[in-house]
Structure 1
Amino acid sequence: MFVGHYAAAFALKGKEKDASLGMLFIAVQFVDILFFPFALVGIENLKFVKGFTAVNSFYMDYYPFTHGLLGSLLWAIVFYLLYFFVFAKEKLNKKRIAFIMALAVLSHWFLDLIVHTPDLPLINGEPKFGLGLWSNKFLTYFSEAFLLVLGLFYYLKKTKSTSKLGSYVSIVFVLFLLLINYLNIFVLPANEDLKSLTVSALFSYALFALIAYFVDKKRV
């Protein structure tokens, strides 16, 4: 899953006004932000098998540190501690903000469950889980679009615009994300070079988080 993860970021921002939407965008993708460099240096494993799924050629047979349920939970705890003791330590509701950030990190595993082939472990090795929606491009695209729009709707319901621009900028941003995902699934050729894939993935995550940060400044 790609842009569908941001549905959790929008929804969790709607639940906690003091959480940064930009940081939530980082949190929901945090395990992938770790996974690509981990795969690049050989800590985890990503192979490219042409036609492995309709959406991509990713064959991921070993990535327990980032995509095991236990691994995801541990990274969520790391995020909680960072927010509780560092980033939100001056805020009165720091415990709630830290918990929201931890939920954002953990949400990645459960949303990946929808699209992945059965390759998501609980700890390491069998059993592995995944509903396999990547076998169908249209179902993958529309499931991510549905989740993202649903998250945006909740965010808009729970926040108010501070300007005329604020009434539309988040909607435009989500349309931009949906366009990027359309190009990624239906138009662009598969990228099977791990180094360039890592660079482009990390750049995308950083860019989207930066845009989300400024989008959120237009709403309270």
Structure 2
Amino acid sequence: MFIGHFGVGFGAKSVAPKVSLGTLFLAAQFLDLLWPTLLLLGLEQVRIVPGATAVTPLLFVHYPISHSLLAVLGWAVLIGGLHFWLKRETKNALVLGALVVSHWLLDVIVHQPDLSLYPGSAMRLGLDVWSSLPLTLLVEGSLFAAGVWLYARFTTAADASGRWGFRGLVAFLVLIYAGNLFGAPPPGAQAIAWVGQAQWLLVLWGYWVDGHRHAVVR
């Protein structure tokens, strides 16, 4: 899942208006921001098998540090706890922690059974929505559209940068998603890892856009 996670980040602005969109993106996508570095370090593994699913050629062989449920709960406590330590905002800290966990729950919906409960667990979860391209588009597209709508409803542009930067971000995310779905398979795991690091630029884009928009109280 890709734009679905960003959709959840967008939508969370409606319940955490004081938190920057960049921070919401960071929490919602944290597991996939961490994963490329673990790949580069050789601590987690992925294989490229064209046709492995209808949506992605990636087989997630070993990724318990970033994506086992127990580890995810730890990352959620870390992100939420760090925000509370810095801001002393209990509600927003809980929202950020919930966003981290939401990533795993959404991955369970789309992934093949490859998500473990804890490092070393033999049980693997995954409902394999990725076996159907139309169903994947419905699930991810709905999440993304709902999140973008909520963000647009609960914020307003302060200037042209806030208006066009937001629209550009949405369009760019859709283009990346389309490229992932219909583009050629990546040449190797190292390429996936390095390209994955570019997701941090989307987090920075979120901070920039949100800095040019105002939260709307409803």
**TM-score, normalised with respect to structure 1:** 0.88
- 8 Å contact kept, 2:112–2:126: yes
**C-alpha spacing 1:168/1:42, structure 2 compared with 1 (3 Å):** closer
Is 1:7–1:147's contact at 8 Å kept on the other side of the alignment? yes
After superposition, give the CA deviation of every residue in 1:30-53 in whole Å (9 maximum; x if it has no partner).
111222222332322212223211
2:142 is aligned, of 127, 143, 146, to: 146
Task: Give the equivalent residue in structure 1 for 2:180.
Answer: 184
Deviation at 1:143, TM superposition (A): 2.4
- 1:147-199, CA deviations, whole angstroms, 9 ceiling, x for partnerless residues? 1110111122222332365455424421221122112211x211141222111
2:20 partner amino acid = S
Aligned to 1:175: 171
| Alignment partners' CA distance in 1, 2:77 and 2:134 | 35
1:19 aligns with 2:19: yes
| Identity fraction in percent | 34
Code of the aligned partner of 2:98: L
1:64 matched to 2:64: yes
Deviation for aligned residue 1:7:
1.2
Structure 1 unaligned spans of 5+: none
* Cα contact 2:22–2:203 (8 A) shared by 1: yes
Partner of 2:158: 162
Who is 1:101 aligned against?
96
Deviates more, 1:124-133 or 1:206-215: 124-133
Equivalent of residue 214 in structure 1, options 208, 212, 215? 208
- Matched residue pairs, number? 213
One-letter code aligned to 1:191:
P
TM-score of the aligned structures, taking structure 2 as reference length: 0.88
Paired with 2:34 and 2:146, the residues of 1 have a C-alpha distance of 27
Query: More deviation in 38-47 or 13-22?
Result: 38-47
Secondary structure of 1:43's aligned partner: coil
Return structure 1 stretches of 4+ with deviation > 6 angstroms.
none
1:17 match: secondary structure: coil
SS at match of 1:54: coil
For 1:214, what is the secondary structure of its paired residue?
helix
Give the aligned residue type for 1:118.
P
Name the structure 1 match of 2:115: 120
Deviates more, 1:130-139 or 1:109-118: 130-139
What is the aligned-residue RMSD (CA, Å)? 1.9
Whichever residue aligns with residue 153 of structure 1, its letter is W
8 Å Cα contact 2:53-2:130 kept in structure 1: yes
AA partner of residue 196 (structure 2): A
Q: Paired residue for 2:105?
A: 110
